[in-house]
Amino acid sequence: MAMAASSNSLLLKNPSHPSNGYSFKNSTTKIIFPSHNNYFSNPTRSNKPFSITCATQVQDRSTTNSTPQSQDRVFNFAAGPATLPENVLKKAESELYNWRGCGMSVMEMSHRGKDFVSIIEKAESDLRTLLNISSDYDVLFLQGGATTQFAAIPLNLCNPNDSVDYVVTGSWGDKAFKEAQKYCKPNVIWSGKSEKYTKIPSFDDLEQNPDAKYLHICANETIHGVEFKNYPTPKNRDGILIADMSSNFCSKPVDVSKFGIIYAGAQKNVGPSGVTIVIIRKDLIGNAQGITPVMLDYKIHADNKSLYNTPPCYGIYVCGLVFEDLLNQGGLEEVEKKNMKKAEILYNAIDGSGGFYRCPVDKSVRSLMNVPFTLEKSELEAEFIKEATKEKMVQLKGHRSVGGMRASIYNAMPLAGVEKLVAFMKDFQARHA
């Protein structure tokens, strides 16, 4: 159906129906895609053509091999979506067109067919092995990101008048608290805001409400780089601790039995965006408020083994490949050792720079995953990012709310990437000190 066209348009014969924002001509039809900028700002949508290119292009496209090579790839320090293991990408590529001889891609399969069911079952089984998850817990593969869980948790666990406790160690914990305000009565029992989210509280200082339905923490604050190294004991009646583990999920062993719920968006450590993993103690399922949308009701998803509606099939498949890879590496003990080594050399480089680089986070709670740092001479930060990008180290800019730099060094960031960054930082300092 598609015919030759310019680089930013498609020619179609007999299109089925014109739709908003696209211009059609009869017979041989030219579809002109709207300009990217106008697309969002102009409600009538412009007919200007747009083309898609790589805005962060770090190499001459004419030299890029049609068969992907590792030398074509950058070290991607993005906070999420984030770098994925090369061997996982290659495996996904080799199976993209024809999954294991079934004549179609995972993207084209029925989610209720035997093939996809085997994929999701294996993903769950491998995740259970990795985190030693007992049969007291359900593992759900959902959609909507961790943000959706900010609402789903109070909706499933609380009545509107129930109190719940939130420890807020960064922006994500704060967002979770604010969303919960719509569905129950949350209290912030500790906030690190006045200290710019650089600390984790002493657990003895927490004034937990014994009547709270649960205690909520964000195990690793992605923006501020603050990570719980151990976990508070919930003092509420049912002993329920809930953790947003989006940015340190599967980065180290975790005793799942300490938690009522662990949830995580996949797009940092275990897969592409679009998949949200919820590990939930079975006795917490089945009490959702009447107003809970069906898509947020844990019982619906647990009863239907995450197949109530069409799940993000391809994303779940890639998560499965990542879990397999983590098991092949020797499991999460081995993965944690690698993560500790990477974090150690990066923090040492920052602390050993005589103040040229600074990390504001309390040393005892620095994240192994997200390393924020600033330059003493903040006017050099743009140059730092520019030069690093030229050296194929990308996405080092800190979150817009805190500025500075942030290197996210998730499981899939190789040691070589961190070593290269550290060598660059030393060289940059030598040239700019």
Ligand X SMILES: Cc1ncc(COP(=O)(O)O)c(C=O)c1O
CB of 165 to ligand X, least distance (A): 18
**Helix or strand or coil: residue 261?**
strand
| Per CB under 6 A, 408 contacts ligand X | no
**Residue number of the CB atom closest to ligand X:** 145
State in angstroms the smallest separation of the CB of 289 from ligand X: 21
Residue from 77, 172, 347, 356 that binds ligand X (CB under 6 A)?
172
- Does the annotation count 351 as an active-site position? no
Phi-psi region of 197 (alpha: psi -120 to 50; beta: other; left: phi over 0): left
Q: Pick the piece of the chain touching ligand X (CB under 6 A) from 26-34, 124-132, 144-152, 225-233.
A: 144-152
Our finding on whether 200 is near ligand X (CB under 6 A) is no
Q: What angle in degrees, to the nearest 10, is found between the helix axes of 415-432 and 332-351? A: 0
Structure tokens at 293: 């949308």
Query: If we measure between CA atoms, which residue out of 140, 116, 393 comes closest to residue 266?
Result: 140
Nearer to ligand X by C-beta: 172 or 424? Answer: 172
The one among 92, 106, 217, 218 contacting ligand X by CB under 6 A: 218
Shortest distance, CB of residue 53 to ligand X, whole angstroms?
25
Examine residue 166 and tell whether it contacts ligand X (CB under 6 A): no
Catalytic residue list contains 244 = yes
Which of 205, 217, 203, 228 shows the shortest CA–CA distance to 168? Answer: 217
**Residue among 265 and 398 whose Cβ is closer to ligand X:** 265
Q: What SS3 state is found at 241?
A: strand
Of 138, 172, 297, 342, the active-site residue reads: 172
Q: Which of 34, 145, 225, 260 binds ligand X (CB under 6 A)?
A: 145
In the shown chain, the binding pattern of residues 237 to 256 toward ligand X, with x for contact by CB under 6 A and - for none, equals -------x-xx---------
Whether cis (ω within 30° of 0) applies to the bond prior to 81 is yes
How far are the Cα atoms of 43, 148, 226 from residue 233, in angstroms, in the given order?
51, 25, 19
Q: What is the DSSP string of 357-380?
A: EE--S-GGGB-SSEEEEEESSGGG
Task: Give the neighbor-by-neighbor strand order of the sheet with 9-13.
Answer: 2-3, 9-13, 28-32
User: What whole-number distance in Å separates Cα of residue 147 and Cα of residue 274?
Assistant: 12
- How far, in Å, CA of 248 to CA of 264, rounded? 8
Single-letter residue type at 213: K
Tokens of 112: 């209720």
What is each CA distance from 415 to 84, 159, 198, 352, 404, in whole angstroms? 14, 47, 26, 19, 23
Contact between 174 and ligand X per CB under 6 A: no
Convert residues 258-277 into a mask of x (bound to ligand X by CB under 6 A) and - (unbound): -------x------------
Based on the shown chain and the rule CB under 6 A, indicate whether residue 83 belongs to the binding site for ligand X: no
Q: Count residues contacting ligand X (CB under 6 A)?
A: 11
In the complex, the smallest distance separating the C-beta of residue 63 from ligand X, rounded to whole angstroms, is 34
Judged by CB under 6 A, the residue of 29, 64, 125, 147 near ligand X is: 147
Stretch binding ligand X (CB under 6 A), from 35-43, 128-136, 142-150, 385-393: 142-150
CA distance 225 to 170: 9
Catalytic residue among 174, 244, 297, 325: 244
Residue pair 92/283 in contact (Cβ under 8 Å)? The answer is no
Q: Examine residue 236 and tell whether it contacts ligand X (CB under 6 A).
A: no
Q: How far apart are CB 393 and ligand X at their closest, in Å?
A: 20
Catalytic residues: 172, 244, 268
Give residues in contact with ligand X (CB under 6 A). Answer: 80, 145-147, 172, 218, 222, 244, 246-247, 265
